[in-house]
């Protein structure tokens, strides 16, 4: 890629990328952010470089491009070692969000606590707000609802003096989710409707989809399936599945609970309740109580495209410490058995692939985990 010499050009590239990202066109935004980041890195403008990287990380999280996230993390590590650059609060925040999207809440909390510490040290009030918002998200995921509400309350104090309308809306939606988790459905819906009125002025597509999803889930859990279906279908129709892979997946997971997702739309469907696997071409696959294979497939289906190391697979599936003399052949044989079960053509696998030090599920496979 040719070097960009004029700083204004780099700012323009980053701004165009931001505009595409705001429209949830992350694939197009990625191109602009990568070009801007490359130029900033060549000029050793690490502040703006990290800003582009933060945008990229959040885009990759939504697209569930885990390999790209891993590549960015390696580049950040190299930057810290070679250039002695310290990561800023926003970068730790973005890394925390990436971990939370993968359900790695402990790791996410560590990143977000680091984000808060760096922001406090720099007295960067805006970054403090982002870190607190991220921490409230993880507290909610961990079931620490009272702690999450305290963080939301702390944010309200900052919002009285800081103009951060999008973050304030996001925090209010999280407030509604916390109330929903606590079974306070009427209070949650009241919060969501207030957000809806405010969102009419801001017109942020990603927040709009998040709000529709929040309302749909609240109606679903309160027993109103008709309204749940309506809001979840609105959310689904608003989300581009290529750019908003994560959002689309969680929306469809909820729709599946009320029978509004066609099984034929998926390559692999894992029915956790009945321990059944359905493959698009093979139909229902009988695993005959082969629980190791079921557990392994579930691990892969939770995060398509993510490489699972041999060490992690052995620890998760066999609850043992990895020993290559014991487990290499065992793992090879198990993967082979799994492929025979689910691959329509064993000689041309389309699902399970081998990486340098592990295995992964094709990130382009359409999969559904029904709980």
Residue-level pLDDT at 25 = 93
Per-position b or e across 336-360, b if 16+ CB within 10 A of its CB: eebbebbbeeeeeebbbbeeeebbb
Query: E strands along 140-288, which residues?
Result: 268-271, 276-279, 283-285
Domains for the chain: give ranges and CATH numbers: 164-261 (1.25.40.10), 268-370 (1.10.10.10)
Identify the CA nearest to 351 among candidates 263, 270, 256: 270
* Alpha-carbon span 14 to 29, nearest angstrom: 9
| Digit-coded pLDDT (tens) for 254-312 | 988 887 655 666 888 888 777 788 888 888 888 878 889 999 999 999 888 889 999 99
Residue-level pLDDT at 7 = 47
Cβ-Cβ contacts under 8 Å for 229 (sequence gap 6 or more) = 216, 255, 258, 260
| Digit-coded pLDDT (tens) for 129-180 | 999 999 999 999 999 999 999 999 999 999 999 989 999 999 999 999 999 9
Indicate the DSSP class of residue 4: P
Residue 354 β-bridge partners: 359
**Is there a contact between 294 and 275 (Cβ–Cβ < 8 Å)?**
yes
**Is there a contact between 279 and 268 (Cβ–Cβ < 8 Å)?**
yes
Residue-level pLDDT at 220 = 92
pLDDT band at residue 5 under the 50/70/90 scheme: very low
- Taking the model in full, what pTM does it have? 0.72
């Amino acid at each position: 890629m040719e070097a960009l010499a004029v700083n204004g050009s780099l700012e323009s590239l980053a701004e165009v990328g931001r505009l595409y990202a705001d429209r949830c066109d992350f694939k197009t935004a990625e191109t602009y952010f990568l070009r801007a980041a490359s130029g900033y890195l060549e000029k050793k403008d690490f502040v703006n470089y990290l800003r582009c990287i933060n945008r990229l990380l959040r885009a990759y999280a939504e697209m569930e491009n885990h390999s790209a996230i891993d590549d960015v993390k390696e580049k950040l590590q190299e930057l810290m070692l070679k250039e002695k650059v310290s990561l800023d609060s926003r970068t730790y925040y973005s890394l925390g969000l990436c971990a939370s999207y993968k359900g790695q809440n402990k790791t996410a909390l560590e990143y977000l606590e680091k984000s808060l510490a760096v922001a406090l040290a720099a007295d960067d009030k805006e970054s403090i707000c982002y870190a607190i918002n991220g921490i409230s998200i993880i507290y909610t995921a961990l079931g620490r609802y009272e702690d999450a509400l305290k963080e939301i309350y702390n944010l309200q104090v900052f919002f009285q003096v800081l103009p951060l309308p999008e973050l304030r809306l996001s925090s209010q939606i999280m407030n509604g989710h916390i109330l929903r988790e606590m079974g306070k459905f009427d209070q949650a819906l009241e919060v969501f409707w207030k957000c809806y009125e405010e969102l009419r002025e801001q017109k942020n597509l990603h927040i709009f989809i998040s709000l529709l999803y929040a309302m749909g889930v609240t109606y679903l859990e309160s027993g109103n399936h008709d309204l749940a279906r309506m809001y979840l279908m609105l959310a689904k129709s608003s989300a581009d599945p290529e750019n908003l892979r994560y959002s689309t997946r969680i929306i469809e997971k909820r729709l599946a609970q009320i029978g509004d997702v066609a099984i034929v739309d998926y390559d692999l469907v894992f029915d956790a309740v009945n321990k059944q696997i359905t493959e698009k071409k093979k139909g229902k696959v009988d695993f005959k109580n082969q629980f190791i294979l079921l557990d392994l497939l579930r691990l892969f289906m939770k995060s398509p495209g993510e490489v699972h190391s041999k060490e992690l697979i052995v620890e998760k599936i066999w609850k043992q410490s990895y020993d290559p003399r014991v487990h290499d052949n065992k793992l090879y044989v198990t993967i082979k058995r799994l492929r025979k079960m689910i691959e329509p053509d064993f000689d041309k696998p389309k699902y399970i692939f081998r990486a340098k030090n592990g295995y992964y599920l094709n990130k382009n496979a359409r999969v559904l985990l029904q709980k």
